[in-house]
Amino acid sequence: MSTARTNDDTWDIATSVGSTAVMVAAARAVETDSEQPLIRDPYAKLLVADAGTGVWEALLDQSLVAKLETLDPDIAAVYHNMRNYQAVRTRFFDAHFADAVQAGVRQVVILASGLDSRAYRLDWPAGTTLYEIDQPKVLEYKAATLGNHGVTPTAERRTVAIDLRQDWPAALRAAGFDAGAPTAWLAEGLLMYLPADAQDRLFEQITELSAPGSRIAAETAANHADERRQQMSERFKKISEQLGLSQGVDVQDLIYHDENRASVRDWLDGHGWHADAVNASDEMRRLNRWVDVPMGDDKDAFAEFVTAVKG
């Protein structure tokens, strides 16, 4: 179970679950500036720069990364693997949307969208409507930050400011969502922050809203061994103190570690979808982005990327 969550907790971009979106955007920014980037996100750095989380903005500073490698090579390897993971994950789900629009889907829903910039950086076909669902303050921060820099969406972007534990299907419909049209869904960086029963309910709701031909992509919740997770948390805390960084909340404290969580692929296959899955570590190796890390021998410690089409 999570140790820092409640059933009615809320957040902005600098606190709790909201701050993890800054971590992901920082990884996209660093990848974009690398010599051979897997993905390009010209807006990630803008979204990170003034977020106010402290430690995640520091990931943009390469001098700090060099110090990290000197202080703790294992933690440095985890950092580089995490950064590569985010690039591989982004690339995979970008391809999901490319396949969906190629198949004629023109309605998109990004669940818990955070600082996702796909509404702004992907080349959407004319007539595409993209819905972003997240906490109000998170959506407000992104819109204000990009708006202040003159950045505009490349699709018709509609925001749905609501917690996914509330009646988000009703709010989505009120924003113009058409349950009779095929939809491309994305649940990226989300499921680990939901307890198992909430995950099941989320997919039930998605299924109810999905016309035949709809597509979904999801990142599953990885299953880290408790002892290894605690060891890594303690080492990250020590390194943060040595670097003079405010660590803020420990991400592991935000995650629900439910042993009885359903397999996303199996759940979808049993509810009218045709699903496939790839382990993230295999995809990282395929793209030559794997870095050896302490938990690298444990496939369960890495998420699966699941895609499915509704029959």
pTM over 0.75: yes
Check if the beta carbon of residue 88 is closer than 8 Å to that of residue 280. yes
Instruction: Evaluate whether 232 touches 250 at the Cβ level (below 8 Å).
Output: no
Q: What is the pLDDT at residue 186? A: 99
- The Cα–Cα gap between 14 and 91 comes to 25
pLDDT greater than 70 at residue 54: no
Which tokens in the block code for residue 67? Answer: 């110090």
If you average pLDDT over every residue of the chain, what do you get? 88
Tell me what the mean pLDDT of segment 148-157 comes to. Answer: 97
Among the ranges given (71-75, 184-188, 199-203), the one the predictor scored with the smallest mean pLDDT = 71-75
pLDDT at 99: 98
Tokens of 139: 């959506």
| pLDDT beyond 90 at 151 | yes
DSSP conformation class of 124: P
73 to 81, 237, 259, 264: CA distances (angstroms):
12, 15, 31, 34
Asked if pLDDT for residue 188 goes beyond 70, the answer is: yes
Of 7 and 178, the structure prediction assigns the larger pLDDT to: 178
pLDDT on residue 139? 96
Averaged pLDDT, 190-218: 96
Quote the percentage of the chain above a pLDDT of 90: 64
Give residue-wise pLDDT tens across range 249-299. 666 667 888 888 999 999 999 999 999 999 999 999 999 999 988 776 778
What does the pLDDT read at residue 308?
98
pLDDT of res. 73? 85
- The partner residues of 305 in beta bridges, in order of sequence, read 219, 278
- Per-residue confidence (pLDDT) for residue 164, from 0 to 100: 94
The CA-to-CA distance between both ends of the chain, in Å, stands at 34
Q: For the segment 14-52, what is each residue's pLDDT rounded down to a tens digit? A: 555 667 888 899 899 999 999 999 999 999 999 998 776
> Please, which pLDDT band fits residue 77 given cuts at 50, 70 and 90?
confident
Decide: 42 and 49 in contact? Cβ < 8 Å: no
Residue 60 has pLDDT above 90, yes or no: no
pLDDT value of position 63: 75
What's the pLDDT band for 2 if we cut at 50, 70, 90? very low
CA 277 to chain centre: 17
pLDDT of residue 175: 98
